Amino acid sequence: MSTSRDLEVSIDQDACTGDGLCVQYAPTVFEFDIDGLAYVKDTDGELLTTPGSQVRVPEHLRLEIVNAAHDCPGECIYVRDRNDKSPVAGPGADD
């Protein structure tokens, strides 16, 4: 994974198991809602509950976000290149 890539992350709540690994890895990016599922948060900490919401991956949390996608039991965390939308980690990525 090139460190120069600008990344984004999203969660597919339909596949989310509510396990919480993502929240443990990066609580400033992921959070549970009252439905018990994980969602992404914007830079102001606002929970984005609209399906398909994406946020930019902060440079200092790249490894944590990628690890969360790799370790997610629901395989519902998508990390993509912001420019060409190619998968970097999670479903569809070459792990």
CA distances 91 to 6, 16, 44, 69, 86, Å, are 18, 13, 27, 8, 11
Is residue 53 in some structural domain?
A: yes
Is residue 90 in some structural domain?
A: no
Is residue 75 in some structural domain?
A: yes
Task: With a cut of 90, say whether residue 7 has pLDDT above it.
Answer: yes
Q: How many residues does the chain have?
A: 95
The total of other beta-carbon atoms located within 10 Å of residue 93's CB is 16
**Lowest mean per-residue pLDDT among 4-8, 14-18, 77-81:** 4-8
Over range 29-36, report the average pLDDT.
96
Most distant CA atoms of the chain, gap in Å: 36
Is residue 1 in some structural domain?
A: no
Instruction: Kindly report the CATH number assigned to the domain that includes residue 56.
Output: 3.30.70.20
Helix, strand, coil: what percent of the chain each, to 5? 20, 25, 55
Q: What percent of the chain has pLDDT over 90?
A: 91
Total count of domains within the chain: 1
Is residue 91 in some structural domain?
A: no
Is residue 2 in some structural domain?
A: no
Is residue 67 in some structural domain?
A: yes
How high does pLDDT run on average in the chain? Answer: 93
Is residue 38 in some structural domain?
A: yes
CB 37 within 8 A of CB 46: no
